[in-house]
Amino acid sequence: MVLTPSTMLALGTQAPDFSLWDVTAEQPLTLGEAMGEKGLLVMFICCHCPFVKHIQAQLSQLGKDYQNSGLAMVAISANDAEKYPDDSPPGLKKMAQDWDYYFPVLYDETQAIAKAYRAACTPDFFLFDAQGKLAYRGQLDDSRPSNGLPVTGVDLRQAMDLVLAGSPVPTEQKPSIGCNIKWKPGNEPDYQSN
């Protein structure tokens, strides 16, 4: 799945609000509670996707590297857990524990939040600045499961460092590539064709 800028959430958009179940803390978490004083990275991930599996160690490292920076992180899975049981809340909790994630993992059962963010694939990254405005929506880096390039997180890390510095993020951004979000039958969004 590849998005084009015309189908992606526009830069400068205010972070869509949410209240979702945190599978790790086993309680609801809202956007306001998740937001850090310097911004928030929202990542749409899942358990079974080979593109996510390819970068899990880097996601864990990102959480460790930025945990005291003021830039918060949260992961959301919106996949249809009926058809993909690995992506159910227990599966997500196990993934978070296995990979030592330093950020909450949330479950978007209705898929409404994924739609609000115009998320299309796993992984998909949305970085909001201290004012809650979208500064970056793009790839982690150029590494893919089949291309042999190391997973460094360079694209996303550069954007996060710029947001932390209060500097503008360049608007030329490479969209994330991964597996389609597994929409429930009849719930596919108008911005994505499966």
pLDDT of 193 reads: 55
- What tens digit of pLDDT does each residue of 143-180 get? 999 999 999 999 999 999 999 999 999 999 999 999 99
pLDDT of 5 reads: 52
In the predicted structure, residue 38 carries a pLDDT above the cut 90: yes
Tokens matching residue 117? 């963010």
In the predicted structure, residue 59 carries a pLDDT above the cut 50: yes
In the predicted structure, residue 194 carries a pLDDT above the cut 60: no
15-19: list long-range contacts, CB under 8 Å, 24+ apart: 15/40, 15/42, 15/126, 15/128, 15/132, 15/133, 15/134, 16/113, 16/116, 16/117, 17/116, 18/76, 18/106, 18/108, 18/113, 18/116
Mean per-residue pLDDT for 31-50?
A: 97
